[in-house]
Amino acid sequence: ALRMLSKRGSTISDTQSNLLFVTDIPSKLEEIRAFIKAIDVGARQVMIEARVVEANDSFNRDLGVKLNLINSKANQIGGSGVYASGGKMAPGTSTSTFKDGVWTTTATGSVLTQTPMAGVNLPSFTSTGGTLALSLFNASATRILNLELAALESDGVGKIISSPRVITANNVKAKIEDGTEVPYVTTQSSGGTTTQTVSFKSAKLSLEATPQITPEGTVRMTLVVKKEEPDWTRAVLGNPPIKSSIVETDVVVENGGTVVIGGVFVTSSQATTEKVPFLGDIPFFGWLFKFKADVGDRRELLVFITPRILSEKLRLD
């Protein structure tokens, strides 16, 4: 705006009140007024709703069937591309590294664009550690999804463990974290004295989303989903390393639609023993009267992300 001033013009700004005082000839004042009106536009804002669901295979299958969609387990990311519900994604890459006691698996992919009437297919495709599982809902299917999530949770096949919401400006990154700190003990010896120190490592589920409103009214999001958890099977002196899974992707979703990111699995096992009282405790022959079994459970973390463009009346400044 300073370049638009004449030699007689001057400006004074007040940052606290966000005011600009301009003194100049009338013709220049009109030009500056039109320029400020064109650029002084409030940033559009997007509300991002995230629902983190811990689900078993029955949850995925039931949700896909209730939405009348086919099963495409044969498709896998990392091959020659995959047609998920809503568009085609180019082959992704997956790398695993071990550093400072932390395993990190990173999967990346290209932009996945949603077609106007795309729904969702769950399970979208089989995925192993480090692969990306991604599906899309349109706005109409999202309304049905909210009801089905509540119904399937009441049936005990899935559990909504977190449902945060955040509002961010267009092209501004929003971050959501939920987790805990895992303590670990380090021992140091000096001069015959042993000192133990307790430190903490973060084990969190975090979501980073950068929305970009397109001229067509859709929302393009750069998403980074990171799941950290202690790996007790590799613990050293009782201190577990932190296993980390990271998914990064760009996706285009219609306003009010939903993108689902999966492929992060949580496994647990439990050893059980059943025996006949007294007889099962007999030395050498007791094994004839008892039964041992290892019961394993595998559950998938599904992250449902729904962007909604706020109207001017609802916009927060």
Please give the Cα distance from 120 to 65 (Å, whole number): 10
Predicted confidence at residue 242, as pLDDT, reads: 85
Q: Average pLDDT over the chain, rounded to whole?
A: 71
Contact 122, 63 (CB under 8 A): yes
Q: What integer pLDDT is reported at residue 113 of this predicted model?
A: 44
Give residue-wise pLDDT tens across range 251-265: 888 898 888 877 666
Q: Which two tokens stand for residue 288?
A: 């004839």
Region of poorest pLDDT, from 98-112, 193-207, 297-311: 98-112
Give yes or no for residue 115 having a pLDDT over 50: no
Q: Quote the strand ranges of 56-164, DSSP E.
A: 82-84, 87-89, 93-99, 102-108, 112-113, 133-137, 158-162
Q: Are strands 102-108 and 242-253 parallel, antiparallel or unpaired?
A: parallel
Q: Are 167 and 47 in contact (CB under 8 A)?
A: yes
Domain boundaries, the chain: 2-39, 45-309
Q: Buried b / exposed e across 40-70, counting CB within 10 Å, b at 16+?
A: eeeeebbbbbbbbbbbbeebbbbbbeebebe
| Secondary structure percentages of the chain, helix, strand, coil, to 5 | 15, 50, 35
- Chain CA centroid to CA 106, Å: 13
* Rounded alpha-carbon distances, angstroms, from residue 9 to 1, 19, 28, 129, 251: 11, 17, 9, 65, 48
Quick check: 63 pLDDT over 60?
yes
Angle between helices 57-66 and 139-154 (to 10 degrees): 140
pLDDT at 297 over 50: yes
Share of the chain above pLDDT 70, in %: 63
Confidence band for 87, pLDDT divided at 50, 70 and 90: very low
pTM of the model: 0.58
